Structure 1
Amino acid sequence: MQLIPVQKIKKEVSRTFINEYMKPKIPVILEDFVDPESPAFTKWNYDYFKEIAGNHHVDIYGSELDSIDRVASQPIDQTTFSDYLDLIDSAPTEHRLFLFNLLNIKPELKNDLFYNDATNGKILKWLPFMFFGGQGSSTRNHMDIDMSHVFITQFQGIKRIWLFPREQSDLMYKLPYNFHSLSNIKKPDYRKYPALLYLNGYEAVLHPGETLYIPAGWWHYIQYETGGYSISVRALPSSFLEKWHGFKNLIITRNFDNMMRNIFKEKWFRYKVRIAHERGAKAAKKQRSFLI
């Protein structure tokens, strides 16, 4: 597996960003996608969040490696937002919040964000998501089901994100009808998953104020180097084919997989594992032939 650092850019005009990064699908870190003068950078902190929404109950998620046969992992516990913030502020923990939308609970917080929109109006500013995690927590390697472009901005703490193009799905042992990989790429077992040897991707280390652009359909594995939180906004895919893939994933593929899992249970999962290994072996053989 080979990883190269993601480039950082600043003050990029829309036309340049779209032509040089969005269209060719190249990940990049934007240093001022969210304006540094945004009130969020000085106003927001854990104490403030506890004051305005501390009594709100939140679902807690753990390690996703325990639920590789599901489209999304299930929450392992529930607590108050205030207690959760105390937890991640006090000690390393795998516990994290998934798609917790504090900005919908307290919509006035959206006014604390000023965007330098490099997409020429394509981002959905009205649909932000917040992600909280403790030091040592992570998400499994996955691609977003709706095929949108994603802009994830770090506000507190540091994240490390690995990215891979969709064309390398078979090398990561993508489970059929799902949108995550069977293999653990953080601690790769090259004997069990030899195709991982041929992966070529990017590594981004995201600090507060920086925004990572994740192209539509790209795989990403997110690790919390420290406890903290981020906000993501999306831009719809540009091409008709990508929009069709997103629609199909949301309406057809996901529901078909749920139906088959309910009918065949473990047998369906074993079938998907077998197909993932067969495709991985075929992809690895193809890569080896290129090297000869």
Structure 2
Amino acid sequence: MKLTQIERVKKISKSDFITQYVKKQIPVVVEELIEDWPAYHKWKLSYIKEIAGDTIVPLYDNRPVNHKEGFNEAHTKMKMSDYINLLEEKPTNYRIFLYNLIKEVPTLKNDFLWPDIGLKLVKQLPMLFFGGESSKVFMHYDIDYSNILHFHFHGEKQCMLFAPSQSKFMYKVPHALISREDIDFDQPDYEKFPALKNAEGYITNLKHGEMLYMPEGYWHYMKYLSPGFSMSLRAFPKSISHLSKAAYNIVIMRYFDILMRKFKGQKWIDYKNAKAIENTNQYLKKSA
């Protein structure tokens, strides 16, 4: 794959952020956006353990999608203090994904500010994501096509992004928001997945306090290089096309997929995975 380092800036004005990145739908890392947040100094795993240690949290691992599991259904649960102990002891695949910890522990909302950066952010309590060393978030894009401000805390994580225009190379699973889960995006098997050679994307490593802007509908694959956690703030897509796709995903696609899993079981999952290869190979043949 052809990966370009995501552009980085120390600071940025509202007008420059909108003109140079949001309107052009290009990702960027802003390194010093949140130094005035209490979270910049406080949000470490030890602080989360202290303030939210008794909270029971949902955990996900790297097992493939299964027809018996519900949409975004957690694989297990444990106390936050036990989970952080696990993160600090050894590498683990267990992750906290898209979790509203701030709703469970409201005092956390005093630690961050809504950045005045030109986007009309959805003023709901933001979602948090936690992961252990070497844990991975499979390649996917978000159901609502939002513009995303992704802030990282405690440690370092690698972020790989691809624009929606690259979907034709991504072995997208139909009626879903993911690539085939057997693709190793760290070391792609080009014999099995030759289209990935044509994919052009972006990559960066996020460190504590840095913010990554992910434009609408961007594919993203995350790998925790060390234990840490992140927070995402979102703004609705500006593109009419992306708004309509988001509405379709939320209102129709998600429930159609749940229904087909219920009636066809694993055969439906296997069919979709086969179609991901078939559809991508057909595109390669047409474009050859």
TM-score grouping bracket, smaller chain normalisation: over 0.9
Structure 1 position 24 matched with structure 2 position 33: no
* Aligned alpha-carbon RMSD (Å): 1.9
In structure 1, the partner of 2:283 is 283
Contact 1:67/1:73, CA 8 A, preserved across alignment: no
Of the three residues 164, 167, 178, the one matched with 2:165 is: 167
Give unmatched runs, 5+ long, in structure 1: none
Of the three residues 141, 154, 157, the one matched with 2:155 is: 157
| Secondary structure of 1:139 counterpart | strand
Give the partner amino acid of 1:75: A
Residue 121 to residue 188, structure 1, CA distance change in 2 (3 Å): closer
Which one is further off, 275-284 or 207-216?
Answer: 275-284
Aligned pair count reads 285
In structure 2, the partner of 1:80 is 79
Give the partner amino acid of 1:227: P
Contact 1:198/1:284, CA 8 A, preserved across alignment: no
Residue 71 to residue 279, structure 1, CA distance change in 2 (3 Å): farther
Contact 2:66/2:269, CA 8 A, preserved across alignment: no
In structure 2, the partner of 1:54 is 53
Question: For 1:72 and 1:159, how far apart are their aligned partners in 2?
Answer: 25
With normalisation by structure 1, the TM-score equals 0.91
Give the partner amino acid of 1:44: W
In structure 1, the partner of 2:196 is 196
Structure 1 position 265 matched with structure 2 position 265: yes
Give the partner amino acid of 1:108: T
Contact 1:32/1:116, CA 8 A, preserved across alignment: no
Structure 1 position 144 matched with structure 2 position 142: yes
| Secondary structure of 2:139 counterpart | coil
Give the partner amino acid of 2:223: Q
Question: For 2:51 and 2:25, how far apart are their aligned partners in 1?
Answer: 38
With normalisation by structure 2, the TM-score equals 0.92
Summarize deviations over 1:241-275 as a string: whole Å, max 9, x none: 21111111011011111111211223322332232
Q: Quote the offset at 1:68 in angstroms.
A: 7.1
Give the partner amino acid of 1:109: L
Residue 272 to residue 196, structure 1, CA distance change in 2 (3 Å): same
Residue 173 to residue 71, structure 1, CA distance change in 2 (3 Å): farther
Residue 71 to residue 282, structure 1, CA distance change in 2 (3 Å): farther
Identical-residue share of aligned pairs (%):
38
| Secondary structure of 1:169 counterpart | helix
Q: 1:75-224 alignment to 2 at 5 Å? A: 75-118=74-117, 120-182=118-180, 183-224=183-224
Q: Quote the offset at 1:136 in angstroms.
A: 0.9
Contact 1:38/1:114, CA 8 A, preserved across alignment: yes
Contact 1:56/1:81, CA 8 A, preserved across alignment: yes
Contact 2:155/2:208, CA 8 A, preserved across alignment: yes
Q: 1:38-53 alignment to 2 at 5 Å? A: 38-53=37-52
Give the partner amino acid of 2:257: D
Which one is further off, 12-21 or 269-278?
Answer: 269-278
Contact 2:156/2:225, CA 8 A, preserved across alignment: yes
| Secondary structure of 2:144 counterpart | coil
Give the partner amino acid of 1:23: K
Which one is further off, 97-106 or 148-157?
Answer: 97-106
